[in-house]
Structure 1
Amino acid sequence: MIRPAAPHDAPFVAPLIIQAMGDLAAKFANSNNPQVILGLFIYFFQQENNQYSYQNTLVFEENDQILGSLNAYDGAKLFELRENFLSYLKENHGLNSFHPEPETQEGEFYFDTISVHPDAQGKGIGKALIIAGIDWAKALGHQKIGLIVEKENPRAKELYENMGFIAQNSMVFLGGDYFHLTYCFEVQPT
């Protein structure tokens, strides 16, 4: 079952966000300590009005276990959603001049992280979350979805392309090389 996330899901979803982010999670936490990284994302998942909030997350739950998550939001709100996060990093993690490049933009619903628990991969959960995310974007009135995928992750890129996403361009984000992919809704003739 896919449902909106709740604050109490934090201990299960934060590791999924970290898994999806890979090395970026340590850059945001300004630490390689797994407990520091986990604590940061648990904290922000439970808060409102930030890009990693439960408010911006769907979870895939089966037998009372969260096996996957999708974190997404309106790209036009990126800087607004980042504000609390970056202020917290400055005050609590020593990132005084940390200004990540924008990975999304106005005009797209942005899939920030999509992740499936390692023990549940290969069972269609990622695909189900992508479909739910597409439906979510459509229900909110968006015409386009965007996401970035590391160039070193061809398997993920192939999954998104098989779901109808198209690679638009390459970009650098926090020192890593990424593809920017988009999914556009067909405009129905009137």
Structure 2
Amino acid sequence: MNIRKATVEDAEKAAILIRLAIKEIAEALTGETEEERILAVLGDLFRSSGNRMSFENTMVCDHDGQMAGLIIAYHGKDAAALDEPIAERLRRKMKDESIKIDKEAEIEDFYLDTICVDSKFRGKGIGTSLIHHVEELALGRGYHRISLIVEDVNPDAGRLYVRLGYKKTKMITVSGGEFAYMVKEMKKTPV
């Protein structure tokens, strides 16, 4: 198992994993309903700089020579700026200047936006390893509060996050769905 920074070459597989993780949110963020178009737009976003779905914000886990999982993460203070290119694309596509992206991350949090492990690789600790890796990156950058959201319809993920120390602090609505906002307070590591 190897965790590394994503590259633009990871886009095709990354788009599939992102789609699996965010389900209907992918339709809201792409403005598409046809699966092929959703994946194409997610791939384009992944290859592009300066948006939340970019390779720049992504770590991937390779296992047995294949991309087994990914995690997209960034600081909440950057969320609005990272959402703006996506919102602008939607405004042009829908010809509606009022379109905005639902706020997910709190401004003080380092936010785990998308976490997905390919079904062929589940149960091998890859999701846990990805989360721990990004938590360490966040701590190294001086961020001590990590957050994520999870749907009630995903109890396995919810149990994993609780086991890793995340606590539900509130419920939020994203793209019409209800999500638990979960936070983990990280302690400063001694020097």
Structure 2-normalised TM-score?
Answer: 0.93
Q: Which residue of 1 aligns with 2:101?
A: 100
Aligned residue type for 1:149 = V
String of CA shifts for 1:35-72, please: whole Å, max 9, x gaps: 11001110010011111110000000123210100000
Q: Which residue of 2 aligns with 1:75?
A: 76
Q: Which residue of 1 aligns with 2:120?
A: 119
Is 1:55 paired with 2:56? yes
Give 1:139 shift. Answer: 1.4
Worse overlay, 33-42 or 148-157:
148-157
Q: Which residue of 1 aligns with 2:165?
A: 164
Give 1:186 shift. Answer: 1.8
Partners in 2 of 1:82 and 1:162 — Cα distance?
30
Is 1:4 paired with 2:5? yes
Q: Which residue of 1 aligns with 2:24?
A: 23
Q: Which residue of 1 aligns with 2:137?
A: 136
Q: Taking every aligned residue pair, what percent have the same amino acid on both sides?
A: 30
Q: Which residue of 1 aligns with 2:151?
A: 150
Number of aligned residues = 190
Question: Is the Cα–Cα contact under 8 Å of residues 30 and 95 in structure 1 kept in the other structure?
Answer: no
Partners in 2 of 1:8 and 1:149 — Cα distance?
28
Consecutive unaligned residues of structure 2, counting only runs of 5 or more, are: none
Aligned residue type for 1:39 = A
Give 1:93 shift. Answer: 5.1
Give 1:96 shift. Answer: 4.4
RMSD over aligned CA atoms reads 1.7
Aligned residue type for 1:61 = D
Consecutive unaligned residues of structure 1, counting only runs of 5 or more, are: none
